């Protein structure tokens, strides 16, 4: 059994009753109970969020896009209730309606109600072309008597769900945008090629347009010449019209004369044919000539007979021979003439008759031809009349052509001037089109091109470009355990000197030095503080399961903090009496106020930074995280311990002086 001198040597605060082991155990376990309750209640509450029940009221009306139903309200509800592939649903969700949700909030069934309005899908998909963009909104409602962090938890869960839904919608939209970049780049490339071809064509057009003024000037000159020629043509057509009129008159006269010649030729043909008929009947040799030839033959025959009878007449033989020869020759000649005339008459008559008939036929043909010629001349006369009329029309047309050509020449001159301006404009167009082609090529190569997979990957990153790494799931972050442990140990030190005496009642009568008296009162409190620090570190390890390397450093800080807090609380009570405990409680409140959020006023932060709880807190944070300051924390706690002991020694020394009046009073209970 433990000796009783340990408990009897310790003085109870505000009572002369001895301190019992139960008192020491109670003081020892006070920070353990405080720390255990705080850690159990507040450390990593996200692991117990299933104890919170929330309702989802889906009033969303699905929309139809490209003949496909898009029920985003249902998808968000499913995401809240079932969770996702990355994060499970951590609250207990109930799909409800507006009336049930309102009743559940009123009676405490639901810690929050998430309402998805009826235009949620329509607003979330309002990024479609032709629609006015609108943000999709969900309503988070919590009861007026909800706990401090419940609102933050439900709002964060709803915000994460809405952010996830927004990220998914953004991914789809951005994926289409990135694929649109690829399509736009291709189309710009095609446009750039077309612009290049257009620039080439415009350059050629510029060259052609540069030649156009010269050509139009030539046209103007040609039209001037054409006007002059048309004027000459009009003059010639006038002369042609007069000549054609005279030709018509002459041809009419010729036609009449030709008809008269045809009539005469026909009469000649008739006479020739009649002569041929008469010649055929009479022959070509006159009958008197034929008769003379016959008489000559008869005479020759008579002479021949005379010659033949000459010898008988006694005439000379030579004479008779000569006469015979002459008579024979005359007879032969007369016979020949008579036969020749007969033959000639027959042959010549036939020949002449044939020739006359041929002549008659030819003359008859000539008569018909002359008649046709007369008809042709009539037609020529009519044609000459038409020619005269046409020549008049040609004259009028040539005059009009001359006038129009002159006007065309003037217009061509103006057109030449305009063509010069056109050439300049087309040249500028060619330059501008070339610049456009270069710009389109630059734009086409500058616009990124993505495959479907690249667009999906990039859309995923751009829709949620920033993510956090190293963020814990504890509601209060990595500093929660150090803050709770510091509070537990501080209130443990305060509890120690609520139970124990800070300054020995024997200080006035004892002969021992003040320092020794102060240390004797501090020693059991320091021992309790060290044990309190070790026990609190053990409770934390059970809840958080830190690595042993981290825990040993944390436990060392807890032990030193327990010892330092005992010294500081002793000094507060020793110096200020009962008000010192009030000050200690205020230090604890200030530690909580400045340890939860960094937005406290600078005055409070500055005061809290000077307190011993700040050194302990910083040391615990340094032990459990990568933060620096572990050595400074130990030094600060040691300094606070020494300062507190010095203050306690001064308080003990002050208690060792008194007045006579005080000695006459008995004070059964001191501070």
For the stretch 191-214, pLDDT in tens is: 767 778 877 877 887 777 677 777
- Planar angle of CA 400, 403, 409, nearest 5 degrees: 135
Q: 249-279 pLDDT, tens per residue?
A: 876 877 787 777 778 777 877 876 777 777 6
Comparing 157 with 529, which gets the higher pLDDT? 529
443 occurs within a structural domain: no
Q: Percentage of the chain with pLDDT > 90?
A: 7
Give the number of residues written for the chain.
671
Pick the last residue of a domain from 365, 389, 414: 414
Collapse the DSSP code of 137 into the 3-class scheme (helix H, G, I; strand E, B; otherwise coil) and give the result: coil
Q: Is 385 exposed, middle or buried (0-12, 13-18, 19+ CB in 10 A)?
A: middle
- The DSSP H or E segment spanning 115 is strand 112-116
Residue 242: both structure tokens together: 């007069």
Residue 65 sits at φ, ψ, to 5 deg, of -125, 120
* Mean pLDDT of the chain, nearest integer: 74
Residues 253 and 331 in one domain: yes
Residues 410 and 494 in one domain: no
Residues 407 and 541 in one domain: no
Range of the domain at 300: 212-414
* Average pLDDT score over residue span 31-57: 63
91 occurs within a structural domain: no
Q: Provide the pLDDT for residue 457.
A: 65
Pick the last residue of a domain from 387, 414, 441: 414
Query: Measured between alpha carbons, how far is 116 from 60 in angstroms, rounded to an integer?
Result: 6
Residues 348 and 234 in one domain: yes
Residues 379 and 523 in one domain: no
Residue 652 has pLDDT above 60, yes or no: yes
Write down the residue that tokens 């920033």 correspond to. Answer: 466
* pLDDT confidence tier of residue 10, bands split at 50, 70 and 90: low
Residues 409 and 483 in one domain: no
Q: Hey, how many other C-beta atoms are within 10 angstroms of the C-beta on 397?
A: 16
Q: Which of 399, 400, 296, 401 is nearest to 340 (CA)?
A: 296
Residues 490 and 400 in one domain: no
Query: Measured between alpha carbons, how far is 58 from 172 in angstroms, rounded to an integer?
Result: 23
451 occurs within a structural domain: no
* SS3 per-residue string spanning 244-313: HHHHHHHHHHHHHHHHHHHHHHHHHHHHHHHHHHHHHHHCCCCHHHHHHHHHHHHHHHHHHHHHHCCCCC
Residues 489 and 367 in one domain: no
pTM of this prediction exceeds 0.75: no
640 occurs within a structural domain: yes
Least confident of 19-33, 213-227, 309-323: 19-33
Question: Could you tell me which residues come within 8 angstroms of residue 430 by beta carbon, excluding any fewer than 6 positions away?
Answer: 199, 202, 203, 205, 206
CB 329 within 8 A of CB 302: no
Residues 638 and 493 in one domain: yes
Query: Measured between alpha carbons, how far is 72 from 123 in angstroms, rounded to an integer?
Result: 10
Pick the last residue of a domain from 414, 432, 457: 414
27 occurs within a structural domain: yes
Residues 394 and 257 in one domain: yes
Q: 452-497 pLDDT, tens per residue?
A: 776 566 555 554 554 444 444 445 556 778 888 888 899 888 888 7
Query: Measured between alpha carbons, how far is 306 from 310 in angstroms, rounded to an integer?
Result: 6
Which residue(s) pair with 211 in the sheet? none
Q: Hey, how many other C-beta atoms are within 10 angstroms of the C-beta on 197?
A: 12
**DSSP letters for 544-602:** H---HHHHHHHHHHHHHHHHHHHHHHHHHHHHHTHHHHHHHHHHHHHHHHHHH-TTS-H
Query: Measured between alpha carbons, how far is 437 from 188 in angstroms, rounded to an integer?
Result: 10
Query: Measured between alpha carbons, how far is 27 from 22 in angstroms, rounded to an integer?
Result: 9
Q: Percentage of the chain with pLDDT > 70?
A: 66
DSSP summary character for residue 18: B
Domain count, the chain: 2
End-to-end CA distance of the chain: 32
Q: Provide the pLDDT for residue 552.
A: 92
Q: Provide the pLDDT for residue 55.
A: 84
């Amino acid at each position: 059994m433990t000796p009783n001198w340990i408990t009897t040597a310790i003085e109870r605060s505000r009572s002369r009753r001895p301190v019992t082991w139960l008192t020491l155990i109670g003081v020892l376990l006070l920070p353990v109970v405080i720390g255990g309750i705080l850690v159990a209640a507040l450390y990593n509450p996200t692991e117990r969020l299933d104890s919170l029940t929330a309702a989802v009221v889906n009033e969303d009306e699905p929309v139809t896009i490209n003949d496909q139903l898009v029920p985003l309200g249902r998808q968000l509800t499913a995401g809240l209730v079932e969770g996702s592939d990355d994060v499970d649903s951590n609250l207990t969700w109930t799909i409800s309606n507006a009336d049930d949700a309102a009743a559940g909030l009123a009676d405490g069934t639901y810690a929050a109600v998430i309402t998805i309005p009826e235009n949620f899908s329509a607003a979330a998909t309002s990024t479609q072309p032709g629609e006015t963009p609108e943000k999709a909104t969900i309503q988070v409602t919590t009861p007026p008597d909800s706990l401090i962090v419940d609102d933050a938890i439900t709002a964060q869960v709803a915000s994460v769900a809405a952010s996830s839904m927004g990220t998914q919608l953004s991914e789809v939209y951005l994926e289409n945008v990135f694929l649109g970049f690829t399509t736009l780049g291709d189309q710009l490339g095609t446009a750039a090629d077309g612009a290049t071809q257009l620039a080439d064509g415009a350059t050629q057009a510029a060259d052609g347009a540069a030649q156009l003024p010269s050509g139009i000037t030539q046209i103007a000159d040609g039209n001037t010449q054409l006007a002059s020629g048309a004027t000459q043509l009009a003059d010639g057509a006038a002369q042609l019209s007069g000549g054609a009129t005279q030709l018509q008159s002459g041809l009419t006269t010729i036609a009449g004369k030709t008809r008269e010649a045809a009539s005469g030729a026909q009469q000649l043909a008739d006479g020739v044919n009649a002569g041929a008929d008469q010649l055929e009947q009479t022959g070509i040799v006159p009958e008197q000539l034929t008769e003379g030839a016959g008489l000559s033959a008869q005479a020759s025959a008579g002479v021949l007979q005379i010659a033949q009878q000459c010898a008988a007449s006694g005439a000379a033989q030579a004479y008779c021979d000569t006469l015979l020869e002459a008579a024979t020759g005359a007879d032969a000649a007369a016979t020949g003439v008579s036969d020749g005339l007969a033959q000639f008459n027959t042959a010549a008559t036939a020949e002449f008759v044939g020739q006359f008939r041929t002549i008659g036929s030819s003359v008859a043909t000539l008569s018909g031809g002359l008649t046709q010629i007369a008809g042709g001349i009539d037609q020529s006369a009519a044609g000459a009349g038409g020619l005269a009329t046409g020549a008049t029309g040609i004259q009028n047309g040539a005059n009009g052509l001359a006038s129009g050509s002159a006007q065309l020449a003037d217009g061509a001159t103006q057109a030449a001037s305009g063509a010069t301006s056109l050439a300049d404009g087309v040249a500028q167009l060619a330059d501008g089109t070339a610049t456009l082609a270069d710009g389109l090529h630059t734009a086409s190569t500058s616009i990124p091109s993505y495959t479907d997979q690249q667009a999906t990957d990039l859309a995923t990153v751009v829709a949620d470009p920033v993510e956090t790494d190293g963020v814990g799931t504890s509601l209060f972050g990595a500093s929660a355990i150090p803050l709770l442990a510091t509070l537990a140990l501080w209130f443990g030190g305060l509890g120690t000197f609520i139970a124990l005496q800070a300054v020995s009642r024997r200080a006035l009568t004892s002969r021992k030095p003040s320092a020794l008296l102060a240390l004797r009162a501090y020693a059991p409190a320091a021992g309790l503080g060290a044990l309190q620090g070790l026990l609190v570190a053990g409770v934390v390890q059970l809840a958080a399961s830190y690595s042993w390397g981290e825990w040993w450093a944390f436990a060392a800080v807890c032990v030193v903090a327990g010892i330092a807090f005992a010294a500081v609380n002793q000094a507060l009570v020793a110096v200020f009496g009962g008000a010192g405990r009030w000050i200690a409680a205020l230090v604890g409140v200030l530690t909580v106020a400045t340890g939860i959020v960094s937005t406290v006023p600078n005055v409070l932060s500055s005061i809290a930074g000077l307190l011993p709880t700040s050194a302990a807190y910083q040391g615990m944070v340094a032990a459990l995280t990568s933060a620096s300051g572990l050595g400074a924390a130990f030094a600060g706690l040691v300094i606070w311990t020494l300062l507190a002991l010095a203050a306690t020694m001064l308080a003990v020394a002050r208690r060792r002086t008194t007045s006579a009046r005080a000695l006459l009073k008995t004070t059964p209970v001191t501070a």
